[in-house]
Chain A
């Protein structure tokens, strides 16, 4: 090798990061070139110093990790700072974003109202709103509070939700109102006999 090796090659040689052939060439050049030998000595001294400083720094960090109370205080502090920062960001959020969200919600609501108006019969809407009013507004003074009398698929029920009497009938029974306060079901039973069950409210 006639030309001097570059500083990068000398640094890589010092850290043993060169291939075997390149390393042999550098070692051979340094054995007879005083200039490069001095340059390389500076690199080697710097590397040793760096390793010593690195070891010292690592030990200091480990000691810090071992101090759990201090670490806990730091973590809590970081969380508090993070939350405060998030609140600051919320307060500073742009009005445009809020406007977009409001517009999206209004659009969805309009779509729901439009769908309801075109698909749900008016009578059912009226009944549902009345039920909501009844549920959240309380019963009115003149509203009926007497016993329930109604037919269900397999019987006629009279009473209240926790106390009632049901006379059962097959689902194929013909159901109709009976008299001024009664419901009846008529069917042919398995013996071929017609049976009529009536339930009356008091």
Chain B
């Protein structure tokens, strides 16, 4: 029975992809299987060196086919600048309902060097869908590559340039702060910073369901006020807000913002912190907001979306409180502001909240190095990247 299903999956896959599809083995980029297609422009600063499909499989599930892709590939920086971050678009052309991306922030790849990228994904599609003329089931393309001088390359269809710049600025902030702690031999502070949450063997996981569009009106919720977290140096500050909360669902959040700078602003990214009914805090997410060119003193930001929160096991997570903070601001000249360490320390005396506000991808990466290799490993990594 199992062999029969596997055989059927193979037959359907062959019919779907065409009889000329090569086997799924390690291969060079000139003979890429039709499961996966890489679309990098000729003048791209990164190019595919090699890739492997690992334990990728196709299975029959009911009347659908499940493609389980585990691809790993090696990219080379063929440009002339050091690479600091990269975002790749991942799309299933048959699937019209969504797309994805894989971002590697905190890179330090010198020209000519290579670096690995992994892509693990599942595609579920009806067997009856057949082949729709698309060149492959999954298309991977370069969306943006960010260099160490904060210049970028790529079509930026996912607005990933701004995100990569913010990650890079956060990475520099964290490296500088930790290097300072090391230099001043503030070991207790360093432990607090990087060992945070270590006693918790099972990390808190958050489940999210995003609902964007008209909502059912059959449930009415409670009005929650949104508490602002104010950074004194921010060019824009939240002054209040609210949302409708129905159990574990937050609907239509809004925040009032006030300008604190005369510089022209292009966009603001608002961060949300959710505290559950057990007083645990999570960064619920961030929402970019494009600001109009007019110099208005205050603006109300609203979002028609709804988010459902749950814990890792899928059990609904009841909302206790909501907080909003300005994660970053982009000025009209393209420069980006992020809160400094001093801003974060001033904003709150709550260590949990402070940790959530400063929790960046680079902090996560350096914390892992510190836990695995100790102070020496951290110092070597900071020396390499600073």
Contact = CB atoms under 8 A, between A and B. Distances in A.
Are both chains from one complex?
yes
A198 B205 contact: no
Contact of A143 (B94, B216, B246): B216
Contact of B63 (A148, A162, A201): A162
A176 B365 contact: no
Contact of B95 (A150, A159, A173): A159
B305 A144 contact: no
B212 A180 contact: yes
Interface string B190-227: 00000000000001011111111111111100000000
Contacts of B94: 163
Interface string A148-165: 111111011011101111
Q: Which bucket holds chain B's interface residue count?
A: 35 or more
B272 A177 contact: yes
A196 B64 contact: no
A165 B100 contact: yes
B285 A177 contact: yes
Interface string A162-196: 11111111011111111111111010110111111
B287 A179 contact: yes
Given A121-B318, A167-B120, A126 B100 contact: no
B296 interface: no
B160 to A, nearest CB: 9
Given A142-B216, A163-B64, A168-B122, A197 B101 contact: yes
Given A149-B210, A164-B124, A183-B210, A194 B365 contact: yes
Contact of A146 (B92, B212, B307): B212
A182 B210 contact: yes
B254 interface: no
A176 B100 contact: no
B210 A165 contact: no
Contacts, number: 224
Contact of B124 (A143, A163, A173): A163
Interface residues of A, number: 63
A181 B212 contact: yes
Contacts of B338: none
A124 interface: yes
Interface string B286-329: 11100000000000000101011000111010100000000000
A189 to B, nearest CB: 6
B247 A183 contact: no
A174 to B, nearest CB: 7
A150 B207 CA distance: 8
Interface stretch (B31-39, B102-110, B228-236): B102-110
A194 B106 contact: yes
A130 interface: yes
B247 A167 contact: no
A186 B105 CA distance: 10
Contacts of B99: 158, 165, 199-200, 202
Contacts of A133: 218
B303 A146 contact: no
B216 A153 contact: no
A127 interface: yes
B270 to A, nearest CB: 11
A155 B272 CA distance: 21
Contact of B305 (A130, A150, A180, A194): A180
A117 to B, nearest CB: 17
Contacts of A147: 97-98
Contacts of B206: 151, 174-176
Contacts of B119: 167
Nearest to B206: A175
Interface in A77-135: 121, 123-124, 126-127, 130, 133-134
B361 interface: yes
Contact of B97 (A127, A184, A202): A202
Given A159-B98, A162-B63, A195-B118, A167 B207 contact: no
Contacts of A175: 205-208
A51 interface: no
A142 B208 contact: no
Contacts of B102: 167, 195-198
A126 B303 CA distance: 24
Nearest to B91: A165
6 contacts: A158-B98, A168-B120, A193-B106, A197-B100, A200-B99, A201-B210
Given A126-B247, A159-B98, 4 more contacts: A150-B209, A176-B286, A194-B362, A200-B158
Interface of B: 62-64, 90, 92, 94-107, 115-126, 129, 158-159, 203, 205-219, 246-248, 272, 282-288, 303, 305, 307-308, 312-314, 316, 318, 359, 361-362, 364-365, 368-369
Listed from nearest, the 5 A-B pairs whose CB atoms lie closest are: A177-B285, A158-B98, A147-B97, A123-B247, A150-B209
